[in-house]
């Protein structure tokens, strides 16, 4: 069941997502060769607590950390560790908080120092695909319009969208209806209405879209070892068009 949010609720979700955005902006500044993802996790957790919020992922389904850190061929749900980041890595940072009754959720992929041209292109296309999807999050459109826009942007560039993990509605729960796939047919799916709040989150692989889960039970990696990037925003569908609640300054 899709739960529509009142304008007041959308405003509260803006506050949750502002904390997520602040943390991700801070993390982006911190990423450099030598820093560990465990240090990034610690920063996210401490900053969130200072804002009176709670990290959303820690304990969610048993996930052990505040921050998901997915390195290079890791797609999503990677564990922070003591491995220092190295020049040329790309690191996906997925973060969520619970604040004042509502969740916020957003993700970025960040370059560690100088990266290859192909890695930079993968990141650029993934972020562009997210933007294309957001543009379609308008009242009266169908969910499939978002999915199709994301998928066509990615496939035109020669990359692939992950099928096994998708975006989602969000509100008083971290994951609500509807699922928001990054692949689909325009004109299909539920009609978008003002008050719907969704997380759009393309996960894009340089090679095949096939993924597998590592023995830790969480870390999703590309099946062929190719690089993967991930960008996510929480979006409110409003009478005035899509509003990015997790936008970073
Ligand atoms: Mg997320
Ligand atoms: Mg999400």
Q: Using the mean position of ligand 1's atoms as its centre, give its distance from the Cα of residue 157 in Å.
A: 24
Ligand nearest to the CA of 166: 2
Q: Using the mean position of ligand 2's atoms as its centre, give its distance from the Cα of residue 170 in Å.
A: 8
Q: Using the mean position of ligand 2's atoms as its centre, give its distance from the Cα of residue 120 in Å.
A: 23
Domains of the chain, with CATH numbers? Answer: 7-244 (3.90.230.10)
* pLDDT score for 117: 98
* pLDDT score for 119: 98
* pLDDT score for 249: 79
Q: Annotate 46-73 with b (16+ C-beta within 10 A) or e (fewer).
A: ebbeeeebbbbbbeeeebebbbbbbbbb
For the cut 90, the answer to whether the pLDDT of residue 125 exceeds it is yes
Nearest to 56, CA basis, from 109, 25, 8, 20: 20
> How would you classify the pairing of strands 203-205 and 197-200?
unpaired
- Do 197 and 169 touch, CB atoms closer than 8 A? yes
Q: Using the mean position of ligand 1's atoms as its centre, give its distance from the Cα of residue 106 in Å.
A: 5
pLDDT tens for 211-241 read 999 999 999 999 999 999 999 999 999 999 9
- Do 194 and 169 touch, CB atoms closer than 8 A? no
Ligand nearest to the CA of 67: 1
Greater confidence, 89 or 249?
89
Ligand nearest to the CA of 56: 1
Q: Using the mean position of ligand 1's atoms as its centre, give its distance from the Cα of residue 93 in Å.
A: 8
């Amino acid at each position: 069941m899709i739960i529509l949010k009142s304008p007041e609720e959308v405003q509260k979700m803006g506050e949750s997502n502002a904390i997520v955005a602040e943390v991700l902006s801070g993390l982006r500044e911190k990423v450099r060769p030598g820093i560990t993802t465990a240090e990034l996790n610690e920063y996210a957790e401490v900053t969130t607590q200072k804002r009176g919020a709670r990290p959303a992922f820690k304990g969610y389904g048993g996930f052990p950390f505040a921050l998901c850190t997915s390195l290079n061929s890791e797609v999503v749900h990677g564990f922070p560790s003591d491995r220092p980041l190295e020049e040329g890595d790309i690191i996906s940072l997925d973060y969520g908080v619970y604040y004042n009754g509502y969740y916020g959720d957003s993700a970025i992929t960040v370059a560690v120092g100088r990266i290859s041209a192909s890695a930079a292109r993968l990141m650029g296309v993934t972020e562009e695909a997210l933007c294309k999807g957001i543009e379609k999050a308008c009242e009266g459109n169908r969910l499939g319009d978002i999915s199709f826009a994301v998928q066509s942007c990615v496939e035109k560039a020669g990359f692939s969208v992950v099928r096994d993990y998708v975006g989602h509605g969000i509100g008083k729960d971290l994951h609500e209806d509807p699922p928001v796939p990054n692949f689909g047919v325009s004109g299909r799916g539920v009609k978008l209405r003002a008050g719907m709040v969704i997380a759009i989150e393309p996960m894009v692989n340089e090679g095949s879209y096939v993924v597998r889960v590592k023995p830790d039970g969480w870390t999703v990696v590309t099946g062929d070892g190719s690089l993967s990037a991930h960008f996510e925003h929480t979006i409110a569908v409003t009478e005035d068009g899509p509003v990015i609640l997790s936008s970073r300054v």
